[in-house]
Amino acid sequence: MARINKISGFPEWLPEQKLVEDRVIAKVRKVYESFGFTPIETPAVEALTTLSSKGVIDKEIYAVRRLQGESEEGELGLHFDLTVPLARYVAQHNHALVFPFKRYQLQKVWRGDRPQKGRFREFYQFDIDIIGREELPVSADAEILAVIDRAILAMELGPHVVRINSRKILQGFYSGLGLDEESTRAAITVVDKIDKIGAEGVKNELLKIRLVTNDIAGRIVASAQLKFPPSEIHARIAALGIENSELISGAEELTAILELIPEATRARCLVDFSLARGLAYYTGIICEIGLTGYPEFGTIASGGRYDNLASQFTDQKLPGVGLSIGLTRLMDLVFSANLIPVTAKSPTELVVSVYVETDRKRCNEIADELRELGMPTEVYLKSPKIGKQIEYAESKGARYVLFYDAGTGVIKIKDLKSKEQVEVTSLREWFASRAL
Amino acid sequence: MARINKISGFPEWLPEQKLVEDRVIAKVRKVYESFGFTPIETPAVEALTTLSSKGVIDKEIYAVRRLQGESEEGELGLHFDLTVPLARYVAQHNHALVFPFKRYQLQKVWRGDRPQKGRFREFYQFDIDIIGREELPVSADAEILAVIDRAILAMELGPHVVRINSRKILQGFYSGLGLDEESTRAAITVVDKIDKIGAEGVKNELLKIRLVTNDIAGRIVASAQLKFPPSEIHARIAALGIENSELISGAEELTAILELIPEATRARCLVDFSLARGLAYYTGIICEIGLTGYPEFGTIASGGRYDNLASQFTDQKLPGVGLSIGLTRLMDLVFSANLIPVTAKSPTELVVSVYVETDRKRCNEIADELRELGMPTEVYLKSPKIGKQIEYAESKGARYVLFYDAGTGVIKIKDLKSKEQVEVTSLREWFASRAL
């Protein structure tokens, strides 16, 4: 007999957990679609040349090969994010798409990382992006912030905070301090680590960068510790004491974006000059969302603005803005911290019990009536003692059990929550008037 | 610049197609859940030992390996169906599941076949099964037939036919003709090919089987050409002129199952003694569903009853019954035969046009009100000529365009279908009374 070895890093939910995940997915999807975003799906695999053309560490990639038989069309690998597939998709189907192209995408991605707590090798990402052709106004940035805030709210995981920054502000500030392009880039990478290595650690690393003096390092670290509401942007920028056009235009752009989002969303935003994100391709706003109650958990969604999505595939300039929800990692938190109660083991709301097998046909018809009304209904598949059937209903998470008496034709429904039982003459009336 | 090579066998839909696929998925899912089936999802990969333990041709399997870095925990492969993962899942999580375990599962599967028309290397299967512990009554077979019929109906692809047979009837008949177990198995495999090689071809191949005489081959071929409604089962079985207890009990079982399903479903059933299905593990009913209008397309869903799901993982006997919809192949037909019109390129129903950027904030608020009412709404991201914005709405498949006049506060909504334009004082009232 084959032993079953759990494959580390490949999470698998129990039915009651999967039901919760599906409900969360449905809520996010509904929000994305309410803004007119369209779903796309790409194959799990891409050509290895596609996956590696953005300078990604090859080590993370899972290669896919036919176990036997030669590979005819180049090497394939499982995608490690949904951004590379999006770039390839947009470049490939360019003429069939309407721009600005607003898409969302929920798919598994795979990374051959060494598994560790909170790190998975297979996990869902739930991405949303707007891709423009040649240009994309800042109204798109505002829309992405509005839709992601709405999506996170819809998940009902408790309060969240939207940390936001602008690559332009960072670049303008550092350049205004006297750093050149290379030193600026190095400084951004260092500042991004402030949550991990602390202010002192950042300062020490900054001092190793060419052109960074003690004074400059101090000013950068001080700025990186600021977290303030959008209304303070101008005052905070002025307090940096730097004259730089990129800094000014970055601040104006960020202000304009935050002006366009709903008041309630803006109230959840915190400008954070330490936010930089490692990925080289962000060029405008940068955003990270976390749950207020779980600061140590880190980011549940992140993203930003990029100037050019698919430069490796097309000459056309495709600027975009988008965010990604790390869904599997988030569900792992949901389950371990019990953020959403995991209760029912099935969608079943009502179980029709069966006294004797000769009643089954009629019981099936009753069940169909209830399904038609919109109530997920099971008919018990055997006809043992009623107690056992009630037990089954309870273990499935069903709220009601229905009893049908073939002799009298009487239907009774028991509410397992209130323990009350009623005689039902019209299923439709019972359904409409049942306690919820 | 990297060239994009289409990877053959890995289909990818355009947004307007994906929207249709998602709608079909939602309909099937709703039917499955209305019967209380619970969703599960398993990783894309299984241990190669798991995948190969059922004697499967290894050639079909895609192996997965980290591109760099050693593999620590044995070799992995992409699953090639959802039955092996289900068997592993049920054996592994046995104690956390409620039996009979009713699950549905929609996931991609991968097969390293040489691609050809209608064959994919990556495709969705949409499976539904009931797994019992030690035993599973025939009420489960009836339920699976009822739910799959309802699911296919929900897809709205035109009339379909449910071809049905019983492994027991075939075995009883062939054994009653004088074949032993081995010859019976060989004959079943041959008869299954009648649609491909014709009656003459089947007869020729049958004659190569040990114990098969000319008379026996003739009677088997004659039976394999029968297709009749469930009401004729007893007469047709009697006409075979064979006394065999397995044949009789198989016929009685099939009759009992067909008695339990809704009248309308039974009317779509055709008993077909040629139906055998290659897979060795079917032991009771066998079922294939096709679209009446597309006989040459073959099967859109198939399955049956099996005695033991997970014998390679557990000592516990886990009998089951289930079917699988070949979703991707079906969607390919849907698109090529235009079974469902592919129209809208987005979920957007209304586009709010923007005259000048200073109106955008108010336009966003109007859009939020409409989303709240349940109407997927986009705000045009720029403010060019209105003609361009209407064009955009049309290209996105939106039905309405909204115009907001900041000077007067007047809102007008144009119906792009009827070309009528109305002035709207209450969005709620307009939404409730709009033409559909």
| Cβ contacts of B395 on chain A, cutoff 8 Å | 98
CA distance B279 to B49: 20
Strand arrangement, sheet containing B62-66:
A45-47, A76-78, A62-66, B62-66, B76-78, B45-47
Which pLDDT score, from 0 to 100, does residue A112 have?
Answer: 86
Task: Judge contact between A286 and A280, C-beta under 8 A.
Answer: no
CA distance A268 to A254: 15
Percent of chain A beyond pLDDT 90?
85
What's the whole-number mean pLDDT along residues A220-235? 95
**Residue A70: pLDDT above 90?**
no
Of B2, B64, B360, which has the smallest distance from its Cβ to A50's Cβ?
Answer: B2
Of B68, B122, B376, which has the smallest distance from its Cβ to A44's Cβ?
Answer: B122
* Backbone φ, ψ for residue B31 (5° rounding): -65, -50
Summarised one tens digit per residue, pLDDT across range B65-93 is: 888 766 555 789 999 999 999 999 999 99
Which pLDDT score, from 0 to 100, does residue B59 have?
Answer: 61
Task: Judge contact between B21 and B13, C-beta under 8 A.
Answer: yes
**Residue B397: pLDDT above 80?**
yes
User: B359 to each of A130, A231, A254, A310, B246, how far by Cα in Å?
Assistant: 21, 21, 18, 32, 78
**CA-closest candidate to residue B89, choices B135, B51, B40:** B40
Of A5, A50, A364, which has the smallest distance from its Cβ to B73's Cβ?
Answer: A5
CA distance B323 to B81: 12
Instruction: Chain B: give the shortest CA distance to residue A212, in Å.
Output: 37
Strand arrangement, sheet containing A421-424:
A377-379, A350-352, A400-404, A411-415, A421-424
Task: Judge contact between B136 and B128, C-beta under 8 A.
Answer: no
Q: Do B98 and A37 touch (CB under 8 A)?
A: no
Instruction: Chain B: give the shortest CA distance to residue A394, in Å.
Output: 10
Q: Do B4 and A92 touch (CB under 8 A)?
A: yes
Q: Which helix (H) or strand (E) holds A290?
A: strand A282-291
| Cβ contacts of A154 on chain B, cutoff 8 Å | none
* Average pLDDT value over all residues in chain A: 93
Which pLDDT score, from 0 to 100, does residue B436 have?
Answer: 78
| Cβ contacts of A43 on chain B, cutoff 8 Å | 7, 10-12, 122
Which pLDDT score, from 0 to 100, does residue B66 have?
Answer: 86
Q: Is B268 helix (H, G, I), strand (E, B) or coil?
A: coil
Q: Do A10 and B142 touch (CB under 8 A)?
A: no
Task: Judge contact between B105 and B320, C-beta under 8 A.
Answer: no
Q: Do A382 and B137 touch (CB under 8 A)?
A: yes
Q: Do A43 and B11 touch (CB under 8 A)?
A: yes
Percent of chain B beyond pLDDT 70?
95
CA distance A367 to A350: 9
**Residue ranges of the alpha helices (H) in B278-419?**
327-336, 360-373, 386-396
Which pLDDT score, from 0 to 100, does residue A393 have?
Answer: 97
**CA-closest candidate to residue A317, choices A286, A283, A290:** A283
* Backbone φ, ψ for residue A57 (5° rounding): -65, 115
CA distance A168 to A249: 8
Of A12, A15, A41, which has the smallest distance from its Cβ to B38's Cβ?
Answer: A15
Q: Do A18 and B40 touch (CB under 8 A)?
A: yes
What does the DSSP assignment read for A390-427?
Answer: HHHHHHHT-SEEEEE-TTT--EEEEETTT--EEEES-H
Q: Per-residue confidence at B277, pLDDT binned at 50, 70, 90? A: confident
Which pLDDT score, from 0 to 100, does residue B72 have?
Answer: 56
CA distance A21 to B413: 38
Of A88, A315, A360, which has the smallest distance from its Cβ to B260's Cβ?
Answer: A360
Summarised one tens digit per residue, pLDDT across range B205-225 is: 999 999 999 999 999 999 999
ipTM > 0.90 for the complex: yes
Q: Do B376 and A76 touch (CB under 8 A)?
A: no
What's the whole-number mean pLDDT along residues A138-147? 98
Of B7, B11, B49, which has the smallest distance from its Cβ to A47's Cβ?
Answer: B7
**Residue A344: pLDDT above 70?**
yes
What's the whole-number mean pLDDT along residues B256-282? 91
| Cβ contacts of B61 on chain A, cutoff 8 Å | 66-67
Tell me, rounded to whole angstroms, the distance of Cα A81 from its chain centroid.
12
**CA-closest candidate to residue A153, choices B368, B209, B74:** B368
Longest dimension (CA), chain A: 93
The residue in chain A having the minimum alpha-carbon distance to the alpha carbon of residue B140 is A381
Instruction: Chain B: give the shortest CA distance to residue A377, in Å.
Output: 5
Which pLDDT score, from 0 to 100, does residue A276 have?
Answer: 85
Q: Do B347 and A136 touch (CB under 8 A)?
A: no
Which tops the pLDDT comparison, B302 or B70?
B302
The residue in chain A having the minimum alpha-carbon distance to the alpha carbon of residue B50 is A2
What's the whole-number mean pLDDT along residues B262-282? 90
Please, what is the Cα angle at A133 between A132 and A138, to 5 degrees? 40
Question: How many A-B residue pairs are in contact by the CB < 8 A criterion?
Answer: 270
CA distance B111 to A296: 42
CA distance A78 to A92: 19
What's the whole-number mean pLDDT along residues A79-106? 96
